Structure 1
C-alpha cells in the first residue's frame, strides 16, 4: 500500500542517488577526507593515510566479491574495560579484538531487557565513534557495536567500546564482505543488509528486546522507557513519511492508516516473541532466496502481507496487525524518531512540540560526507579540539528577502525565484572561496538560504510532496547546493582543493577557545586601517580588485590572525596564481537542483563559474 506521498523506490540510504536506473541508481562517489574520532584519546586508531578510505571505496566498486553466508560469532566481554574517554596507557595492554557475542554478554549489557545495537565495518569507523559518543553523552549504557572486520574491531577494543566481533577467528572480515563502502544496490550492500537480519534473529533468540539501528543515526535521548510504554507492539519501525499524522504535542505512534510511506528499517525495535521470531525468520528466508532483494523492500512486503482487512490492537489503536495478521506493528513518530528531512529541513519536532529521540541521516545528497556535514551543522558530530584550530575566513552573505506575492506564486514562479536568489548568493560565495584560496585559509561556510527544497522528483510549491510543514525559505543543508565530498578530492583531476567548515562552526567551538579576529573591508580606495569599530575588531580597508600575490603581501601582518571576516563581497574582483585550478574546483563541487516537472533539474555550476563575469 502506498500513496503519492510515499518515498520513491530510488531512495538511497547510504549513497547519493541519481535520477535514473533501476530502483535506485547510485553514483560512485569519492569521499571526504576521514575526520579524527570523537574520543579525543583515539587519534592513533584512525587511518593515517588520507587516501586509505577513498581507495577502499574504489576497490568496493571495482572488485565486488560473491555473497557468502556468515554468522555472528560468540564469546564473552572482558570484565574490565576503559571508558570511551580514557586514554590507553602502557599498563593497559591493547586488546587485539573485541569478544565474540554470547547471550551472557548481551544480557549483561541490556537494561529492562532492552539492548540497542548497531554494526559497521572500518570504512564507517568515524560514524561508529560519533554514534557511541552521543549514546554515552545521553547516559545510554545498554548498547553494543558489531565489528564487521578486524580493523574496526581493534579500534573499538582499544577504545574500550562495548563491541563484539562479527567475523570469525583467523579472518579479516565477515565472510564475503570487504572493508570498504557499501554501494547501494551492490553485492556488498545486499550482504550487509543480510547481517542486519541475522542480528535481529540472534538477539531476539536470546530473549531480548532489540533496538537495531544503522550507524548513521545519532541518539539524543534514551528511548528505553518509550519502547517499554508500548507493550502491545511486537515490532516498531521508523518511517519515510514526511508529515506527522498525529496532533502537535502527541508523543504516541503515527496513525497507521494515514502513514503510507515505506517503513524505514534503519531504526527497528523488536520485542522478543514467537510471532516476532516468525517474522524475522520469514524475512531471512526471503532474502536468502534472492541475493539481489533489498532488505527494506522485503520487510515492507512481508509486514503488509494480509494487511487487509485492517485490524487495530484492542488496547492501542495505533498498533496494527501485520504479517498475515500475526504480528503487532507500530510506526514510530516521524518527528521524534526523525529522518534526514523531518529533522534537518522541516524541524518537525519543533512544529510538533516534541523532543527528538534520534536523528537518521536519510534524505540527503552527499553520501557519507554529506551526512557528516549535516550532523556538524546541527551540532550532532563530535570533533576533537584540533578541528577548531587553524586559520579561517568567512563572511555573512546578503540575505535574500521573501518576495512580495510569494504565497500566491505557482511552483514554476517559485522555482525561478529560487534560481535568482541562489545565483546572487553563489556569486558572493564564489568570491569568498577564492579569497580562501588566495590566503590559504579554511573557509567557514556562510548560511545559504533556500526557497525551494531539493528532491529526486518534481516538487510541489517548492516542497517535497507530503512535506507540508516545510517552512519556506529555510537554511540550506550544504549538500542541497554543493557536494561536500568534492571539496578536496584528487587535486590533479579537479584542481585546487578547498578546506571548509560548516556554517555553525563558531557555535560549536569549545567555549574556552578564542580567536584573534580582523575584518577585511573591500571597497573604493587603497589599503588602509580603520582605527575603531563597535566590534573592537581590527578592520583593514582593501581595494576591490586584487591579485593573490599582492593581497598576501598586503595582509602579511595578519598572517597569524586566526579569523578573518570579509565585508563587501559583492564588490570583490580578484585573480589567483592558479585561476584555472580554482575554476575547475568550483565547477566540480557544484551540486544540482531537482526537479521542475518535465523540465527536470539544473546544475549550480554555471552560477559559480560565471559569477565573476
Structure 2
C-alpha cells in the first residue's frame, strides 16, 4: 500500500495540479483539478430566455393563497367554491397560456397581468390528464432546476404538469419560456434557501398550503421538489395502487425489496420524504393535509417533513388486506404506500449505492438528497449523471477544455482493508473526478459504509464528498486568490449534449522523457492528432507550445504526473495555493468521537508525518488554510 506521505516517485501532488493550470493558461484560462475545465462567462445564466409576450388572457376564478396561510380552515370552502365555479366556455381558442403547448414561446410584447396566473379550475382542467396533475414549485434560484424538471417530463411525453412560482421574477421567466406556471403569492426573494434556513422552512410550508389548495379540486396530485428529475413516466406505476390515499418516497437506504414492489413498511427505518409524494383526493388524504397545515401553523419550529412523519406514525398498521403492500396509517383509515428507494431514488441510493443498477431495475426518479455543498452540489451531481440541462454555451466554451487519463495503482484501489488510512491514501493520490472512494461520507459517525446498504467498496463517489463545489464556484477576489478556476464534471465529454465538433477537435498530448532524444516536439506529429510533450516542462514551454493550438477545443493529456516544474511567478503561485486550499472539504465521521470528522488537505504531502486524524482539540478543529 502506498504511503500517505509520498506521491509516486516522490513527486508532490501539487506539481500535478500546477501542470494542469499551466496548460490551461494557454487556453486563455486556468483549467485544473478536473477531468474537464472551462472558462468563466459573464453572461446571465438564463440569457437563453426569450422575453417576448402574448395578449392578456381573461381573468379567471382563483385560489387566494393569502387566506389559506391564515390557517383558519377557510381553504375547503374557498377552494370548493372555485372548483364549482361556472366558467363559460371561450368562444375562440387563442394561443394563450391555456391553449398553447409546453415550450411554445408566447408572441407579442406584453406581459399578462399577475392575476391571470392565479390557480384556477380552468387551469387544472386544461393541464390535468386522466385526473392527475404533476406539480413542482420554486423561486428564481431554482430556475435551471425547474427547466430541467420540465424537460425530463416532456421528453417522456408527460405534459400534465404545472409549476408554482414563488416570486414574480421566476413567474415571468417561466411564462416567456412557455412553461405552464401559476402564482403562489409567496413573495419570496430570488435567492437560494439554504437547507435548514428560515426560507427553507417557509418553502416547505408553502408546499403544504399548495396541497390543501389542490386536493378539493378533485385531482390526484403528484407533488415534487425541484431538485429531482423524472427518468421514467411514473404514472403507470402509481396507477398500480388505486386504493392508496398517499404514496410517499423515503430516506430508506437499506433495501426491503429487490423488485419494483412497494417497500415493506414494517422494515422501513428512514424518514418518509416529502420531496416526492402522490396524493389522491380522498377524505382521509384531505384530513391528513388539513391536520398537517394546522400543525405547522400552530408551531413555527416544526419542520414540514417531521410534521408529516409524526402524523402518519400516530397509527401505523395493520396492513391493508391483499398483496398491495399498503398499510393503514395516520388515523387508521388512510391507506399509505412507501415507494421503493431503489427506483424512486434518493441521493444515496442513486449516486452512492447505484442500487437500481445492482438490482437490474429501471429508476423512475432521482432526488438530490444526501448531498453536500448546497444547491451547487445538487446541480453538479445531476451533471455528473448527465441528467441536467444547461444552456448550450456550457457545452462549448470559447477557451476550450483540458482532460487527462487517470491511472490509479491497484494497490491503492483494491488492496488491503477499507480503513480511514486507505481511504485517504486513495483520495490523496487523485487529482480530480472521477473520484474513487473507499468510505462513504455522512454527517454522523459510521463504520465506513452504512451497514445493510448495497454500497460497494471502492466506489466512484460524488465530487461533493471530497470537494467543496460551492466554494469552487464562489467569486473570490482575484487580487488575493488569482484567476477563477473553472471546471466541468468528469462525464462531460461523454454527454450527448456536447457538440460533435467539440469532441472531435481534440489534440492528444503524450508525455515523454525530457532526457530522451526521441522526445521532440515536431509539427508532423500533430497531423495525426498526437503531440509528444516532454515531462518537467517549464511555464514558458507550455506557453510556447500550446499557444499554437488555441483553436483546438480539447487537450487530452496522457497523464499529469511529472509534467510541470512549477510556477516561475512566486506571487501567482501563492495566490493559486491560497485558492485551491479552500477547494477540499472533509470526511465524516469516525465513530464514538465528539469531533469525528477529518479535513482533506490539498498540500498534505508537504507536511512530514501527516496522518488522516480527527481534530484533537477545539483549537485544531479548522480547515487547513
Decide whether the 8 Å contact of 1:523 with 1:571 is kept in 2: no
Q: Secondary structure at the match of 2:222?
A: strand
Alpha-carbon distance, 1:215 to partner: 0.4
Q: Distance in 2 between matches of 1:394 and 1:383?
A: 20
**Other-structure match for 2:566:** 574
1:138 and 2:156 are equivalent in the alignment:
yes
Q: Distance in 1 between matches of 2:483 and 2:42?
A: 19
Tell me whether 397-406 or 575-584 shows the greater mean CA deviation.
397-406
Label 1:606 to 1:78 Cα distance change in 2 as closer, same or farther (>3 A). closer
**Other-structure match for 1:181:** 192
**Other-structure match for 2:22:** none
Q: Secondary structure at the match of 1:246?
A: coil
Alpha-carbon distance, 1:346 to partner: 1.1
Q: Secondary structure at the match of 2:538?
A: strand
**Other-structure match for 1:209:** 220
Alpha-carbon distance, 1:465 to partner: 3.6
Q: Secondary structure at the match of 1:321?
A: strand
Correspondence 1:164-179 to 2 at 5 A: 164-167=182-185, 174-175=186-187, 177-179=188-190
**Other-structure match for 1:512:** 500
**Other-structure match for 1:433:** none
Q: Distance in 2 between matches of 1:402 and 1:279?
A: 55
1:339 and 2:346 are equivalent in the alignment:
yes
**Other-structure match for 1:529:** 521
Label 1:274 to 1:485 Cα distance change in 2 as closer, same or farther (>3 A). same
Label 1:486 to 1:403 Cα distance change in 2 as closer, same or farther (>3 A). closer
**Other-structure match for 1:419:** 424
**Other-structure match for 1:551:** 542
**Other-structure match for 2:389:** 382
Q: Distance in 2 between matches of 1:34 and 1:101?
A: 36
Q: Secondary structure at the match of 2:179?
A: coil
Q: TM-score, normalised by structure 1?
A: 0.79
Alpha-carbon distance, 1:451 to partner: 1.3
Q: TM-score, normalised by structure 2?
A: 0.77
Tell me whether 68-77 or 357-366 shows the greater mean CA deviation.
68-77
What per-residue deviation string (whole Å, max 9, x for no partner) do you get for residues 226-252 of structure 1? 1111012111110100022013xx211
- Which one of the candidate residues 583, 587, 590 is aligned to 1:589? 583
Decide whether the 8 Å contact of 1:187 with 1:292 is kept in 2: no
**Other-structure match for 2:100:** 81
Alpha-carbon distance, 1:488 to partner: 3.5
**Other-structure match for 1:604:** 600
Alpha-carbon distance, 1:87 to partner: 5.1
Decide whether the 8 Å contact of 1:519 with 1:538 is kept in 2: yes
**Other-structure match for 1:122:** 140
Decide whether the 8 Å contact of 1:481 with 1:591 is kept in 2: yes
Q: Distance in 2 between matches of 1:520 and 1:376?
A: 26
Q: Secondary structure at the match of 1:291?
A: coil
Decide whether the 8 Å contact of 2:329 with 2:335 is kept in 1: yes
Alpha-carbon distance, 1:355 to partner: 1.0
Decide whether the 8 Å contact of 2:138 with 2:166 is kept in 1: yes
Q: Distance in 2 between matches of 1:347 and 1:581?
A: 39
Alpha-carbon distance, 1:551 to partner: 2.2
**Other-structure match for 2:404:** 395
Q: Secondary structure at the match of 2:182?
A: strand
What per-residue deviation string (whole Å, max 9, x for no partner) do you get for residues 100-132 of structure 1? 111221122111211110000111111111111
Alpha-carbon distance, 1:576 to partner: 5.8
- Which one of the candidate residues 265, 277, 301 is aligned to 1:268? 277
Alpha-carbon distance, 1:220 to partner: 1.1
Q: Secondary structure at the match of 1:561?
A: coil
What per-residue deviation string (whole Å, max 9, x for no partner) do you get for residues 180-233 of structure 1? 221333322222111111111111111111111100010111111111110121
**Other-structure match for 2:437:** 450
Label 1:203 to 1:351 Cα distance change in 2 as closer, same or farther (>3 A). same
Tell me whether 316-325 or 516-525 shows the greater mean CA deviation.
516-525
CA RMSD of aligned residues (A): 3.1
Label 1:610 to 1:522 Cα distance change in 2 as closer, same or farther (>3 A). farther
Q: Distance in 2 between matches of 1:470 and 1:34?
A: 40
Decide whether the 8 Å contact of 2:208 with 2:293 is kept in 1: yes
Label 1:78 to 1:531 Cα distance change in 2 as closer, same or farther (>3 A). closer
Alpha-carbon distance, 1:521 to partner: 3.6
Alpha-carbon distance, 1:264 to partner: 0.5
- Which one of the candidate residues 479, 482, 502 is aligned to 2:464? 479
Give the aligned length.
Answer: 522
Q: Secondary structure at the match of 2:117?
A: coil
Q: Distance in 1 between matches of 2:43 and 2:303?
A: 30
Correspondence 1:287-298 to 2 at 5 A: 287-298=296-307
Alpha-carbon distance, 1:88 to partner: 5.4
Q: Distance in 1 between matches of 2:412 and 2:391?
A: 42
**Other-structure match for 1:464:** 450
1:254 and 2:263 are equivalent in the alignment:
yes
Label 1:295 to 1:552 Cα distance change in 2 as closer, same or farther (>3 A). same
Alpha-carbon distance, 1:365 to partner: 0.7
Task: Considering Cα pairs closer than 8 Å and 6+ residues apart, tell me whether 1 or 2 has the greater RCO.
Answer: 2
What per-residue deviation string (whole Å, max 9, x for no partner) do you get for residues 252-299 of structure 1? 100000111100111111111111111111101100011121000011
Decide whether the 8 Å contact of 1:522 with 1:544 is kept in 2: no
1:326 and 2:322 are equivalent in the alignment:
no
Alpha-carbon distance, 1:82 to partner: 5.4
Q: Distance in 2 between matches of 1:608 and 1:558?
A: 35
